[in-house]
Structure 1
Amino acid sequence: MERRTFLRGAVIGASAAAFAGALMPGAAYAAPAQPGAGPYGALGAADANGIQLPAGFTSRVIARSGQNVGSTGYTWHNAPDGGACFADGTGWIYVSNSEINPGGGVSAVKFGATGAITGAYRILSNTRQNCAGGRTPWNTWLSCEEVSLGAVYETDPYGVKAAVRRDALGKFKHEAAAADPVRKAVYLTEDESDGCLYRFVPTTWGDLSAGVLQVLVAGTATAGSFSWTNVPDPDGSPTTTRTQVSGAKHFNGGEGCHYANDTVWFTTKGDNRLWQLNLADNTYELAYDDSLVSGGNAPLTGVDNVTGASSGDLYVAEDGGNMEICVITPDDVVAPFLRVNGQSGSEITGPAFSPDGKRLYFSSQRGTTGSSSGGITYEVTGPFRA
């Protein structure tokens, strides 16, 4: 389903004026998403896991940092972060980064057809602060190091092939990645207060060993047109990648990134925004901005990881805020989908749907303890709309 394919009315009052003033001359864009009733109704009382969910949804704990995953004998990593799901016969696999430095890496949990845990194992070790990442169409997981001159590692969720560092994707403080099979490119966010948005175009689609790293070039407005320019030195030393190209657009703390239907959505934590790249016409705009919410009560703050469902709904996790995952619908309504209670010292990470779209996985990175050793990974099951 295409999101935002029609123009909505402007945001009410001063917010409307502020947004309109930021548009490029002659351009027409949809106003950012506004609060409203979510597609699943109000949140209910907290369940036994401290999670508030809409009616019909249930949660269970999949793994806890420092403890064995189910009956597998595999110890779950600390500080679980970005994640994704992969089909595996009649079952599936959920992979999860570890945002630890040093140590880092990625673990995987294997599920059978009924959702029972059938295995757990390590697919990447001895890396640094693996934060988010992204899955590829050829069923690998790109795990990104959120450190200066950090790298991207291509890993095998099935635990068969050794992980490979993909230096061609650049050396910078990587956050998330999203693959675009139409333009045969991978989009990359940068977690710096003056970070950029990048695009890697491999020489051969499906092989990330070589290619061209490009940076998005645009004006300073919150909407307009954009283009891509090659980054001369992807190694980022001695000159950082984000300062090599004149006219590169800078974003305040790039976080999650998601591709679907000729569109890339990515979040920036420094200004609590969700951005939208319309790849069909090379324009960008704001899909959500907590400072442009009518009524003044923003339901989504501390924007972080983002994923999407087949319905066209976006699910955005909060780093802080009310410890919620919020849903943004195709008609630009934003509402809480779930809330985690009693874990204010944590953040929500790694939202990802099972291949059939019926289960949502995510983690509370520091759990109830507020420490990286207190991470908890959850599964939510329910009537997600198709």
Structure 2
Amino acid sequence: MERRNLLRAAVLGGTSAALGGTLWRGAAYAAPAQPGTGPYGPLGSPDANGIRLPGGFTSRVIARSGQRVGTTSYTWHSAPDGGACYADGTGWIYVSNSEINPSGGASAVRFSSTGAITGAYRILSGTRQNCAGGKTPWNTWLSCEEVSLGYVYETDPWGTNAAVQRAAMGRFKHEAAAAADPVRRVIYLTEDETNGRFYRFVPTTWGNLSSGTLQVMVAGSATSGSFTWADVPDPDGSPTATRSQVSGSKSFNGGEGCHYANDTVWFTTKGDNRVWQLDLLDHTYELAYDDSLVNGTAPLTGVDNITGTSSGDLFVAEDGGTMEICVITPDDVVASFLRVDGQSASEITGPAFSPDGTRLYFSSQRGTSGSSSGGITYEVTGPFRS
């Protein structure tokens, strides 16, 4: 495919738009990315936590399912999944979903400016199989139910305000609602079905998700081309599933993570190990990564959750594969960033960076036991590119 340079400054009302407290400088991607030498060098031997990291990086365990978090009295949830970070004064908060059914929900861990754990608590209860989600520009956490006719819940990372069910965002097998676009004032959503769709929600009022319009992406069957949006007539999804309501809506094989930066959306599909890229300015889509189109051995398989950094790097977690988080650079190089050893029956979930970009949080959903009760949440610290 022809290389497309997406070097744009996200300017909003004369000021630079920020995401997660860090300025996004844009990215240059060609599709698909190919294996090469990554920006952080080769992986070292497993550390004390069984994690292989590049030189200069260290890991620590933040929480374990069924055990108290640090010195707090709060017991960490089972099957930790999607997550995000929020600035909290001089410290920050990491939120994490619980992908169990019933119960599910989400929890949070609070950190001081030095990274010390100062608190942990529940922010959502009584929901089902909360998988991924997304951070809003107004600092709430959208927690998604990955069940048939599932809901999106808007939660408070500080645990002060009660969670609210956002039915207008549609009822389907939600995966991520991760890509909040402040330019077009919409939120993008993925659907974890073998014939799932890619959606966007257009709130009636930006910053208020109580009402709005659910739309679905309409495009051809090719892996690149132009796209449009069409309203979903019945977001309630009953009796006709939302993915079946609009003729010409594009099918995706197992929608997973989703990430927005600088007029571009990236989202992953686990059924075909792809990362898709949508150019929101010219309304075109293409592949940013496809393991079947890699020259040689694909470093990234089991494509799942995705996040990004201010340098334009994408970090993609594996569900299975070799239990890695891989990086896709703006130069279209895909390489391993870390690997978790001895946990082949698990998956990596919830990658998210601290507001200053120096710490990466993620979970091994089932840990060494292979059971949802054995989840482990980690922090990796080091010289990430900014």
The alignment's TM-score, normalised by the length of structure 1, stands at 0.93
Coordinate RMSD, CA, aligned: 1.1
* Separation in structure 2 between the aligned mates of residue 4 and residue 270 of structure 1, nearest angstrom: 26
Measured after TM superposition, the shift of residue 171 of structure 1 is 0.1
Whether contact under 8 Å (2:92, 2:110) holds in the other structure is yes
* Separation in structure 2 between the aligned mates of residue 338 and residue 31 of structure 1, nearest angstrom: 23
Is it true that 1:116 corresponds to 2:116 in the alignment?
yes
Deviations 1:304-338 (A, max 9, x none): 00000111000000000000000000011000000
Whether contact under 8 Å (1:4, 1:332) holds in the other structure is no
Matching of residues 361-380 of structure 1 within 5 Å: 361-380=361-380
* Separation in structure 2 between the aligned mates of residue 4 and residue 125 of structure 1, nearest angstrom: 44
Matching of residues 149-298 of structure 1 within 5 Å: 149-177=149-177, 178-295=179-296, 297-298=297-298
Whether contact under 8 Å (1:74, 1:121) holds in the other structure is yes
Matching of residues 2-81 of structure 1 within 5 Å: 5=5, 30-81=30-81
Whether contact under 8 Å (1:142, 1:155) holds in the other structure is yes
Measured after TM superposition, the shift of residue 35 of structure 1 is 0.2
What amino acid is the match of 2:259? H
Corresponding residue for residue 142 of structure 2: 142
Corresponding residue for residue 11 of structure 1: none
Measured after TM superposition, the shift of residue 343 of structure 1 is 0.1
What amino acid is the match of 1:72? T
Deviations 1:227-258 (A, max 9, x none): 00000000000000000000000000000000
Matching of residues 347-366 of structure 1 within 5 Å: 347-366=347-366
Whether contact under 8 Å (1:4, 1:331) holds in the other structure is no
Is it true that 1:334 corresponds to 2:340 in the alignment?
no
Measured after TM superposition, the shift of residue 266 of structure 1 is 0.3
Measured after TM superposition, the shift of residue 6 of structure 1 is 7.0
Whether contact under 8 Å (2:166, 2:210) holds in the other structure is yes
* Separation in structure 1 between the aligned mates of residue 353 and residue 270 of structure 2, nearest angstrom: 23
The alignment's TM-score, normalised by the length of structure 2, stands at 0.93
What amino acid is the match of 2:213? V
What amino acid is the match of 2:221? T
Corresponding residue for residue 316 of structure 2: 316
1:262–1:78 distance in 2 versus 1, CA, 3 Å: same
What amino acid is the match of 2:113? A
Query: 1:219 aligns to what SS in structure 2?
Result: coil
Measured after TM superposition, the shift of residue 31 of structure 1 is 3.0
Deviations 1:1-25 (A, max 9, x none): xx95179xxxxxxxxxxxxxxxxxx
* Separation in structure 1 between the aligned mates of residue 180 and residue 168 of structure 2, nearest angstrom: 15
* Separation in structure 1 between the aligned mates of residue 52 and residue 163 of structure 2, nearest angstrom: 37
Measured after TM superposition, the shift of residue 30 of structure 1 is 3.4
What amino acid is the match of 1:192? E
What amino acid is the match of 1:245? V
Taking only the aligned residue pairs, the percentage that are identical comes to: 82
Deviations 1:63-106 (A, max 9, x none): 00000000011000000000000000000000000000000000
Query: 1:320 aligns to what SS in structure 2?
Result: coil
Q: How many residues align?
A: 362
* Separation in structure 2 between the aligned mates of residue 113 and residue 6 of structure 1, nearest angstrom: 34
Query: 2:373 aligns to what SS in structure 1?
Result: helix
Measured after TM superposition, the shift of residue 279 of structure 1 is 0.3
1:122–1:6 distance in 2 versus 1, CA, 3 Å: closer
Deviations 1:233-290 (A, max 9, x none): 0000000000000000000000000000100000000000000000010000000000
1:314–1:149 distance in 2 versus 1, CA, 3 Å: same
1:160–1:4 distance in 2 versus 1, CA, 3 Å: farther
Corresponding residue for residue 19 of structure 1: none
Q: Which runs of 4+ in 1 moved over 2 A?
A: none
Query: 1:242 aligns to what SS in structure 2?
Result: helix
* Separation in structure 2 between the aligned mates of residue 312 and residue 159 of structure 1, nearest angstrom: 31
Whether contact under 8 Å (2:30, 2:332) holds in the other structure is no
Whether contact under 8 Å (2:256, 2:305) holds in the other structure is yes
Whether contact under 8 Å (2:255, 2:269) holds in the other structure is yes
Unaligned runs of 5+ in 1: 8-28
* Separation in structure 2 between the aligned mates of residue 91 and residue 4 of structure 1, nearest angstrom: 38
Unaligned runs of 5+ in 2: 8-28
What amino acid is the match of 1:314? L
Whether contact under 8 Å (2:217, 2:228) holds in the other structure is yes
Deviations 1:157-187 (A, max 9, x none): 0111000000000000000011000000000
Query: 1:73 aligns to what SS in structure 2?
Result: coil
Whether contact under 8 Å (1:198, 1:213) holds in the other structure is yes
